[in-house]
Structure formats: C-alpha cells, structure tokens
Structure 1
Amino acid sequence: MESHSNILDTSLDYLKGVGPIRADLLRKELQLFTYGDLLTYFPLRHIDKTQILRISEIDFQSDYVQVVGKITHIALIGEKRGKRLVAYLQDGTGEIELIWFQGITWIQKVLIEGSTYKVFGKISFFNGKMQISHPEIEASNPNTVESKSHLEPIYPTTEKLKARGINGKLLGKIMESLFLQIQPIHIPENLPQSTVNALRLLSRFEAFRKIHFPEDLNQYQEALRRLKFEELYIAQIRLGLIRMQRHRTSKGFLFKTVGDIFNNFYNTYLPFELTGAQKRVFKEIRQDTARGAQMNRLVQGDVGSGKTIVALLSMLLAADNGFQSCLMAPTEILARQHFQGLSDLLKNLPINIRILTGSTKTKERREIAAGLENGEIHLLVGTHAIIEDKVQFKNLGLAVVDEQHKFGVAQRAKLWKKNILPPHILVMTATPIPRTLAMTAYGDLDYSVIDELPPGRKPILTVHRNEMRRASVMDFIRSEIALGRQAYIIYPLIEESEKLSYEDLMQGYEQVKSYFPEPKYLISMVHGRQTPEEKETNMQRFVTGNTQIMVSTTVIEVGVNVPNASVMVIESTEKFGLSQLHQLRGRVGRGSEKSYCILITGSKLSNDARERIKIMCDTNDGFKIAEKDLELRGPGDIEGTRQSGALNFKIASIVEDKAILEVAKQYAESLLEEDEQLIQPENQPLKIFLATQKGKTGWSKIS
C-alpha cells in the first residue's frame, strides 16, 4: 500500500511557483530538495504586514519596518565591486535611503522615479541616515484594501537567492502553494494521543501550518511548543531505546560477590568516610555489574569530588570476582599520578598494580605483557599505550577511562576488543556536564553524578583584579610562600599564535623573576615548546616542593595534584572560557589550607568576559558554571560533545528549552517503561514514524 507521506518526498521541481530553475537554486543554496524539506524550513519571525509606519516614527529601536512613500531620486554610485544602486523614498514625514548591491540591473528596470511603493525591510543607520538594504518593494495602489490579516512569515534566505528574485516574500508564496497541496493525512500524528491531550499540544498538521501561517503570535507560540516537544521527545525515545537494547542484548561479565579484597580495603585501609554521593554512585555500579549485561556508565563529578576512589572500589570488586581492570588517562603525568595514588592506597593488599605509558622501556613492556596474559597483574594504569594491539589481558573485566572526551570513539572501542565479552566501561569526567547536555548528548550512557565534596574541603576564594594591581597580587603570593605554600601563575595559550603565547609567557616569566629573585625563590616553567621530559621534570620539581612557583600555559589544566599549592593566578583571564577557568581553579584547594584564585584582566572587558568573571567569583559549583557556559557559548562549542546527531536539533535548543526537555524526557521514560517494544495500539504511530526516519537523521549507534 502506498504511504500517504510519499507526497512529502516529491521533488520541489513539481511545486507550483518553483519549477526546475528555482528548484535547482533552492537545492544549492538552502539544501531544500523535497516538499518535506520545505515543510521544515521554518520562518525566522513573523511580521504584521497590515502595519504601516510613518518614517518619522522610526528610531534606533526599530527592527523590521514597512513604509509607503514616493521614490524621489535614483542613482548608480561607485565602480566595479563597489557599485550600488541608491533610491530615496519620502512619505512627507521623512526620507529613507534604499540600497541594492546585487541584482541592480533588474531593480533599475522595475523602479520608476515619482511612483509610490510599499517597502519592507530591516532598518539600519549609517552616518545618522536611515537605510534599508535589499528591501522588499512593490508598487502601491492607494485604492486597494489589504486583505491579508494573518502574520506574514519571514524566511532566512541568501544574497544569491535575493539577487535571483527569490526573497523572503517569494518563499512565503511558495510555502502557501505547498499548503494547498498537503492535507492532515500527509502529516500523520507521531505522538501518543494521551500525551498530546495531557500536554494540550496542537496536532502535528496544525503545528506545521501555524508555525508558517499563524493568525496571531499566540498560535505561533503553540506551534513552536508542539514541534520543540516532538523533536526532544523523539530524541529521548531513540536514546532510551539504544540504552535498553544495550541492557538487553550486550552480555557482560557477572561480578557476583563482594569478597575479601574489597572488604579488607573498605574496612581497614579506606582513608576517609565516603560521602553520600560516592556511596550512591558505587551502589549503581554494583547493580550494573551484577546484572550480566555490559555496564556503560558515565560518572561525572566536580574537581576533587572523589571519583578516583569510586573507580578503585569498582576495580577491587572486579579483582574479587577474578577479573583484571585497567585505568586509562589522557596524559603521562596524569597516569603517573593515578598510579602513585593507587599504589599508596593498595600497598597492604595482594593486588599487583603496574603502569604502562609511551616511555615504558622495552624490557619492562615485555614483563607487563607477560603478567597481563598470565593474570598475575590485576590492575594496569596507563595512557593510550594500553590500547595497542600487543597489550593482551587474560580476562579484562573493567575498563575505566578518565577524561573520556580526550579519547576518540575508535580508541575507546579498542578496549572492548580486549576480550571475548566486552569489559564493563566506567567513564569519568571532571568537566561537569550540564544536565540538559547530559540528557541529550550522553543519553545513551547510564549516568551518575558525584555532587558533593568530601568534608573538610574549604571553598576557594576567587577575586578579580585589574592588571594595575599586579604588584599587590605578587605581595600576596610572597606572603603565602612565607607560610610554606606554593603558587601557580597561568598564561593563556593562543592556539592560532604559538609564537605570541610563547613571547607572552617569556615576558611574564621575566616579570615574575623580577618579583621573586633567585636564589631565595625557585620557579618552574612549563610550556608547549618543551620536550615531554622537560615538562615532566619541571612539573615534578613543583610537585615535590623544590620550586615554589609554577609559571605555565594551560598545559596543567587537568588532574595535577599538588595539595600544598594555595594560590592560582590566571593572567589575561578574559581570554579563557568558563569551564577552563573552573578546571584551572580546581588545581588549588586540594589540601587543608585556605586557597585563593586571582583573576587578572586588562581594563577593557567585553560583556561576555565580565559575565564569565562574575560567575567565577560568585560560585565554586561546577554544575552552575557548566550551565552558564552552555548558555554563553551554546552546545556546539562545549568540549567533548558527542559526534552524534543528538544535538543537531532543527527547532529545539537545549539551552533555551530546558523546561520542555525535562518534560519530554519524563514522558519518554514512562512510555518506554510501560511499552519498550512499542506494541500497544496507541504507540503504533510512534513506531511507524521511527521506522520511516531510519537513515534520514544524523543518528547512529553511539559508542
């Protein structure tokens, strides 16, 4: 039987008012191929075209305006590329300049001096004069009465299309002829009727009609609400299905018992009482690994929230059940730090722990390879070196990945192949992910949050200082060093200009040396031009307390642990993003002493920079900061956003539509709990819709 929706697959060539030439332009310029593509080409805004302003009523606040007046003068100005056509329109109360940079020949033919025109466009001011570039213009007959009362849609278009006569107005006409051809039957409902009723949503067809041609703004808002909900709801259903499919079909190792090793460590050697959040997250991991399906869990927690101890407990659980574990970190420094920390905690337990990195010598590599294959090594810490093909385990049961966005999907997938059954995967990140982003970009992973800091942590005091006050900042550092503490001074890394970053850093280093002369003070310096060995040596000198000050570009942002460092000075703070500032601040405040973060900036700050600095001084909460970061930058820029279609929403925005997303998630979850296979009659429309969308979206199985 032929599906009703086939009309939406019709090529635009066949739509009245389009034809092959225009269809070709729409394909090239706007990627619109079919009736269905056109249907989802949403207007930017709507304009009440019944409203005509006097030119004298227009001011700097005005946006799009419509005026009627006489063309008093037309002139061609400039040469070659700078050529433009200017016409002056007067209505008795004032004058507006109309300008065309393209399609000049065509405009010259139709524009007649002395005639009256209705003009519509975006107003701008140049040298105090009012201007409209590339206005929509039509001859006005004072005797005709405006018949249209609905709001007219304004569609985004391109200069090339405008030059070929395809302006926002024509797109509106094309859209009108589309709606003459499609019926409700062509846009069937795809949501359960009970959901539509409960949330008082417009029907799907009505929503599409009213988003293009609403009678008033209220109708437009209703259409917007319905289509945003639909988009977010369908995304949540898809993610939920992927997650459930994995729980159902991906076999995983069974960690049945909590045994002697775990209990001995927990009761005797655990250095501090776990927080409620740590206990909750470990319980979730315990349940995951006891189900017989593969665990795929993301654990996120702010800097210092104690993710590593949760990972260690999970690895001991694996050991009790006869399995090996590995912990993969993005850099050698971090891997060494994890290895050191875990070795100290495990020194009294029968656990053989080793480290494998790029700089591990060949002889030691061979020993490690043998120990992994015969099962003598229980726990391997390392960098990317772990995923090399040569590294084979006897029975890898758990893989922990630290700061996972630093590893590609393909790299992580290699871990899965280290065994007949894939190991349980525990992904840890200290980059707090805003809840809305986690619900969309990471919705296929089970998701835990460690949202409380261990007791005894003192909040870091953050202050903003102008560079004119640098001397007093240096005095403060001096007083902290006198108390036996250490300080970081960080300079921005300017990606495009390594040379500039390096010069800034060197200049800064000299400046710091003038405040802190040797031999009384010792300074470490770390930057991108050093060899890994140099970086490592300089870092280690600071870590061991041989130097009191670390001058660096942002290479130290993740995970370095120096409990004795109490001051973090960030130079040119305005050049850093919010999450980066938060990560850098997390380098201090790791000991029992009060710690400080000092943000130094120039005196000229953009509003954005001001907002970033204000929120840094106001809160230490990484989740609040991440939400703000998402708001300021949008989801596309956030580090580690997945390469899935999860964020390619056409109409919804995970920043602005947080409330709708929450509701969509709640409805999607309860539907899948009741009817995971979408068998119930009420859920058939949804099932059919999901089947028709396969392959049309950017969605793929997200690893």
Structure 2
Amino acid sequence: MTTKKLAADFEQTALADALGAKHAAALEKAFGYQSVGEFLRHFPRRYVEVGELTPIAELPFDEHSTVVAQVVNVSQRQMHSRKGFIFEVTVSDELGDAGQELRMTFFNGYQARNDLQVGTIAMFSGKVGWYQDHLQLSQPDYAILDEASQADPTPIPIYPASAKMPNKRIRDLMGLLLEHVNEQNLPEFLPQPLLDARRYPARWQAFFNRHHPRDLKQAYIARQRFAYEEAFILQLSLAQKNAQLGSQHAVPRARTSGGLADKFDARLPFALTEDQLQVGEEISGDLSLEHPMHRLLQGEVGSGKTVVALRAILQVIDAGGQAALLAPTEVLAAQHYASITKMLGPLADPGLFGEGEGTGVALLTGSAKTAQRREALLGIASGETGLIIGTHALLSDQVRFAELGLVVVDEQHRFGVEQRDALRAKAGDAMPHTLVMTATPIPRTVAMTVFGDLETSTIKRLPAGRAPISTHIVPMQLTGYRDRLYSRIREEVAKGHQVYVVCPRITETAGEQGVLLATYEDTSAQTMSVEMMFEMLRSMPEFEGVEIESLHSQLDAADKAQIMDDFAAGSIDVLVSTTVIEVGVDVHNATLMVIMDAERFGISQLHQLRGRVGRGGLPGTCLLTTWLDADHASVNRLRVIESTLDGFELAEADLLERREGNILGVQQSGSQSTLRELSIIKDRTLIEQARHDVQILMGYAQWHHEYPLLFKTVMGWVDESTREFLNKN
C-alpha cells in the first residue's frame, strides 16, 4: 500500500487503493467492506495466548481450549451427503508428553490444506469433541507459529472469518493496514479531558492495540475505548435530537378546571394508584409546555396505562385539541374503542345534556364500512370528534384533523418510523405532543440507547384487584401430565370460566395436511398448529358440548372481530389461537392460558400472553407445555417465566437470551452506525458514563465549535437511514 494512494480521509480510502483490487474484492465478498474504516472495525472476537494453552492429555471435553501442536499427518476425503471434502489433520502435542495426539477436521478446508503441512507448528483453538474414539477439534481457529512468534508469544487475534477469508489471511491484510495507522491518519475526535478521565488511549493507538496487542489488558482497554466511543456518539446524537425537539413549537395544552378531565376523574369507580397519579402529573406537565411532549409510558399488562393515557387525551381536548390513538391491530383498536367509551360513559357524547360538554369518540379501521368511515371522517375534520381511535387507516390522506394536539401510539414496537411520522405530520405547523405506550418492560440500558431522547414514565404497581397468576411447565412426554392438561381445560370450563390455547403456527406443513390425529400422543414429533389443536379438541369426548373456536391472522377482519366479541361475551368457552391475542385482548372471565410448544416463544412474548388471564379478579393459571427433555437449554427459558411475574426482571432475562441485535433498529452491512463494540448487556456502566459525559458536554452551548471534528464525526457516523430513524422515532 502506498501513501500517495490514500484518500485525505484515511477511513474513507477505498480498500482497492489500500490493499489492491484482488484483496479488496475478497474482503467485499466475504464481509461487504469497501473502505479502510470498515475493515479496521473488523475487530477480533477473542485472543489466544500461550498462558491459556492446555496439554492434549488434559483437554476438558466439550469446552473451548487452545493447544500448540505440530502437524504429524494430513488426509482428505469427500463428503458423502453433500458436495465438498473434509480435510483431517493429526497433531502431536508440543507442550505435553510425547505421543499425545489430537485430530482436527476442516469442512472444505481450502486454506487449512495450504497452511497445515506435515511439520507445521501452530496454535489451535476450538471446542473439544469426541469422534470415533478420538478427541477432536472441529473447524478450529489456528495461527501458524514461526520461530519469531514462538519466541515472542503475544496474544493472537481470532477474527470472525469464513472459509475463503480465514483468520491467517485477515491477520496478514490487517497487518498491512496497521503499517499506516498513525495520529495523522486517524486523528482524535473525543475531547481530551474525557480520554484523560477515563484513561483511554488515543484513537489511532486503540486501533493498533485492538488488532495487535502487547497483552490482553491492552486489548481490553482498547475494546473499552471503542465501546465508550460508540456509546458517546449515540448518546450525543440522541441529545442533539432532544435539543431539536425542545426548539420545536407545540400548542400548550394545560389542564383546565371543570373540564372533561375533571368530570372523568369524578366518575371513576376506583382510586388511581400512586404510580398512575405520579405519571399523570408528569404527562400533564409536559402537555402544558410550548414544545412537544415526547414521552414513553411503560407498564405491565393490566397496570392501567389506558386510564393514564385517557386522562391526558381529555386534558388536550379540554384545551381545544384532538387526540389520535394508533393501535397495531383492528382487534386492539376495537377493544380500545369499547373500553374507552365505556369508561367515558356520557362524556363520550358530544351533545351531553344538550350543552355540548362531551366529546365525540370515533373508530376508524381498514374494514370500516363506507357510511361509518364517512361519518368518522366528517367528525374528525369538523372537530366534533375529539378522540379518534384506529389502525393504519388513520394514516390515509383522507383523514384530516381540525386540530391534532396529541398522538398516542400503543405498542410502538409494532409500527414503523414512517407510520408514526405520517400521523404526526397531520398536525400542521405546530408539532403534536406524543405519548408512546408499551406493555413490554424495557431494561434501563435499552431505554438509554434506543429511547434516549424520550422521557420515560413507568407504572410498576398493579391496581388493586388483580389476581395472582400461577405458572407451571407441563412435560408432554409424560402421559400423566398430558392427560391432566386436557382435564384441567375441561375443569375450568365446567366452573364457568374461559380458556386460551395458544399455538405457535396456524396450519400443518404440506406433509401433515389432511391427517387427523387419532390421539394427542401423535403430536410429539410435530409443532402444534391452531388447526390441529382445534380439530383435536373437538374430536375428544371430554369436550363434547364445549364451545371451541379458532382465531388467527389469516381470517378476515370482520371474522376476527366477531370471534373476539363472542369470546368476550362468554359464548365461546375455549379459544384456540396464535399470538394475535398477545396484546390488548381483555376478557375478565378468562382464567387459564395454555401455551403449546412454549419453548418456541420468547420470554417477553410468553409474559405478554400470560397477562391475558387473571384480569377480572379471578386467579389465573398459565401452563407452558413442551416435549423437550427437562435438561434441554430451551426449557431454561420456561423456568425463568415459571419463577417470576416481574416483567422488568423478565425483560433483562429476555435481553440476555436474545442478545441485543442492532439496537438502533437498522442493520446495514458496512454501515458506520452499526454498533460493533458496544453491548447493552456487557456495557451498562459505559453507557451510563457516556450519557453523563454527554450531558456535561451539551451544557457548553459552543461545544460543536470547540470540537469541530467531534461534530463532523457525529454527523458522519449517523448515516442517512439511521438519522431518519433517530429523527422520527
């Protein structure tokens, strides 16, 4: 690589200019990288060093281990079941007793075939397995050790690699790139006082230490610096957005005395909880300001979020504005409409006592009939309708508000950025206030990263009268438990209660269709479907006379609504369903939730489903069925659900299980905004430090003039799609 080929911005230099067209093409094919900066951020996932080496005779089975060994034999054979070959290597221990050998297998090991010749000494790292009475490492990472590397055993980086871009080639190419890593090519943009306070190396040095560390401590500190850097830039981006929100204009909607909000409070048949009152004050205060509220309201299923939102809606209506409540499904929109009009009572009549003291409440969904739709649109446009509840139909160009003052988004994770933004755009010049609701508890670090620009309100305590829910795992491979499961459903119906049975899919596979199961014991090899369960229950003698119905997303909207209405009215005893009942369905007489093949659902999803029962003061039960053995890893997820009802504790467990993915909500190969080092699981302290440091920086009005490279980096780091996400979220 020649310096004259490098672009003025080293990180934006094309890999073809830096490494040559052949190597650049290979890197782009393997990882999608095109620039120097992208490849530099291809960080090692771990390191191996001599200090962690294990003699072959002491290798622990089924654990990750590292050995230094000499190749004593190689062989190759074709695979029988598919194209390709297996390259086998036998090595002899260089550290332990002579004669101790270990086998390695490489599937389509083209690079290994070239590198690992008889007599080669290398460091091998992988999980120890057992095959044909021999210990083996399958697809191990390895590093060739020459005399120099054996004399100076610094940690060897192990990168995410592929068959055609193995670790050795990545290390060689990275070595070429590191020759040009210096302070001029990679200038610092973080404020020096922060680096000094956190004891982080300069940026150029951190890159070098990350890829070629002197020891593991040096690599760890470099990794910490890059994770902090990502957290800091993300928090700074969110803080800038927050500042922009503060500069936008909104019509203040202060609470008025004697209005609908006061009348609503006076007719409530129950006392609001302390949390509901506190959150209500926070929201009311935001609505009184001249810049738009942007608040996240989170609370457990049944915690009373809708009541809190309705009080805010009435405050806005009292102040001359309208409110829109956006729900993700027609079922949930209809349920909101029914529950809100019931809570409002006569206050939902715009002609209350002939004095016009109430407000119109309308429902608008995609399946609305023409006359109903026309009436709703007229009420919205005239201002007679103060609250409009609906689905994506609210986003239609035909929907015109007289004065939209508040947008309430229920279960925000089910909507795209563009959908929420399209609704807010209907407010005209002044931005509407926005309240985002979720029943999925959000861990603090996620709230700080994904919703860092939102003020967060939390309802933790459930209202009085919510009955406890007991949860039990049902091992379906045991006949007695299977029999008891179906008896339990029948018993609940006999008590006059109702039951949900949730299945992970709608129908059978092509090979299963048309096959009616003779007994429920035949289901062990299959994933239970709604159709299969529905037919099976109806064919079982013990369910004769029991009203059973099925519900899933492939039914048309009218049928789904009718089935839910019938279930809510009590004319259906057992509802066999997919997860369409996960959010918002509120049937007080439902006391038993059976989740088939429960291991196929995530922790948060199971918690949401469980929250559908025990809502009417009657004790609820949730049964999690599984055909897996008790020691299967996936059963641990079910044990977590079984052990606690604390949604925030479960949210943390869910995060640990799923990992964080891309927390910005965008995932693009090579995107600078993809967080490569920051982990919201491992780096909670770093995120809090970065948030604190950003708040201090934002206190200096001229920070972007004092640190122009930092400002440029923030604007460049957040690419167009991510900036759109941050600006609209």
- Please tell me the TM-score bracket, short chain as reference: 0.7 to 0.9
Tell me if structure 2 keeps the 8 A contact 1:524–1:541. Answer: no
Report 1:21-420 matches (<5 A): 21-48=22-49, 55-60=56-61, 63=64, 65-69=66-70, 71=72, 73-78=73-78, 81-86=83-88, 88-90=90-92, 92-97=98-103, 102=108, 107=113, 116-123=119-126, 124-125=128-129, 126-131=131-136, 133=139, 146-161=150-165, 167-248=166-247, 250-349=248-347, 350-420=358-428
Provide the TM-score with structure 2 as the length reference. 0.84
Partner of 1:434: 443
Does structure 2 retain, via aligned residues, the 8 Å contact 1:4–1:185?
A: no
Q: Give yes or no for contact 1:68–1:140 (8 Å, CA) kept in 2.
A: no
- Return 595-604 or 618-627, whichever deviates more: 595-604
Partner of 1:687: 711
Change (3 A) 1:643 1:675: farther
> Partner residue of 1:648?
674
- The answer to whether the 8 A contact 1:441-1:647 is kept is no
**Residue aligning to 1:164:** none
Are the counterparts in 2 of residues 84 and 104 from structure 1 also a CA contact under 8 Å? no
When residues 7 and 496 of structure 1 are mapped into structure 2, their CA distance, relative to the original with a 3 A threshold, is farther
Alpha-carbon separation, structure 1, partners of 2:675 and 2:647: 26
- 1:445 partnered with 2:470: no
Distance 2:581 2:662 in 1: 21
Which segment is superposed worse, 624-633 or 369-378? Answer: 369-378
1:60-119 per-position Cα deviation (integer Å, ceiling 9, x unaligned):
356454434463x554534894445545444632334455655769957x8776xx3213
The CA distance in 2 between the partners of 1:546 and 1:494, in whole Å, is: 23
Which amino acid in 2 is paired with 1:289? L
Q: Which residue pairs with 2:618 in the alignment?
A: 593
Deviates more, 1:55-64 or 1:528-537: 55-64
2:416 maps to amino acid: G
Work out the CA distance in 2 between the residues paired with 1:496 and 1:193.
Answer: 61
CA separation of 1:120 and 1:337: change in aligned 2, threshold 3 A: same
For 2:167, give the aligned amino acid. G
Q: Is the 8 A contact 1:355 1:380 kept in 2?
A: yes
Q: Select between 588-597 and 480-489 the one with higher mean Cα deviation.
A: 480-489
Matched, 1:548 2:556: no
Q: Secondary structure at the match of 2:229?
A: helix
Instruction: Quote how far apart the aligned CAs of 1:586 are.
Output: 0.8
SS in 2 for 1:405: helix
1:104-137 deviations in Å (ceiling 9; x for gaps): 69957x8776xx3213334554323344658757
CA contact (8 A) 1:117 1:137 kept: no
- 1:8 aligns to 2:11 (yes or no): yes
Look up the match of 1:517: 544
- 3-state SS of the aligned residue for 2:634? helix
> How many residues are treated as equivalent by the alignment?
682
State how far apart, in whole Å, the 2-side matches of 1:121 and 1:403 are.
48
Residue 612 (structure 1) aligns with: 637
State the distance in 2 between where 1:497 and 1:391 align. 42
* Contact preservation (8 Å) 1:5, 1:187: no
Matched, 1:455 2:464: yes
- CA distance 1:643–1:219, shift in 2 (3 Å): closer
Match of 2:482 among 466, 470, 473: 470
State the Cα deviation string for residues 230-288 of structure 1 (Å, max 9, x = none): 1112111111111211221x221221342322453254212322222222222222222
Instruction: Give me the whole-angstrom Cα distance separating, in 2, the residues matched to 1:609 and 1:79.
Output: 31
State how far apart, in whole Å, the 2-side matches of 1:9 and 1:664 are: 26
Question: Which amino acid in 1 is paired with 2:395?
Answer: I
Structure 1 pair 429–496 and aligned structure 2 pair: CA distance change class (3 A): farther
CA pair 68-373 structure 1, distance change in 2 beyond 3 A: closer
Q: CA–CA distance in 1 between the matches of 2:633 and 2:263?
A: 48
1: CA distance between counterparts of 2:112 and 2:598?
Answer: 52
- Give, in whole Å, the separation in 2 of the partners of 1:494 and 1:440: 35
- Aligned in 2, Cα 1:290/1:4: closer, same or farther, shift over 3 Å? farther
Q: What displacement does 1:404 show?
A: 2.3
| SS of residue matched to 1:700 | helix
The amino acid across from 1:538 in the alignment is I
Q: Structure 1 length normalisation: TM-score?
A: 0.87
1:126-164 C-alpha deviation (Å, 9 max, x unpaired)? 3233446587576977xx794424222222322113xxx
Q: Which amino acid aligns with 2:568?
A: V
- Structure 1: unaligned runs, 5 residues or longer: 162-166
Aligned with 1:184: secondary structure? coil
CA contact (8 A) 2:78 2:86 kept: yes
State the 1:649 CA deviation.
0.9
CA distance in 1, matches of 2:363, 2:292: 25
User: Which residue matches 2:697?
Assistant: 671
Q: Partner of 1:347: helix, strand, or coil?
A: helix
* 2:704 and 2:710 in contact (8 A); partners too: no
Q: Which moved more, 1:314-323 or 1:471-480?
A: 471-480
Q: Say if 1:148 and 1:495 are closer, same or farther in 2 by CA, change over 3 A.
A: farther
The whole-number CA distance in structure 1 between the counterparts of 2:274 and 2:90 is 72
One-letter code of the match for 2:397? D
Shift of 1:516: 2.8
Q: Deviations over 1:504-560 (max 9, x none)?
A: 22344225x532321xx4333323454433333332222112233323232222111
CA distance in 2: counterparts of 1:325 and 1:266, whole angstroms: 16
Q: Secondary structure at 1:299's aligned position in 2?
A: strand
- Structure 1 residues 566 and 207, CA, compared in 2 at 3 Å: closer, same or farther? same
Contact 1:39 1:208 in 2 (8 A): yes
Aligned letter for 2:612? R
Measured in 2, the distance between the counterparts of 1:636 and 1:495 equals 30
> In structure 1, what is the Cα distance between the partners aligned to 2:144 and 2:415?
57
Aligned to 1:472, the other structure's residue is in SS state helix
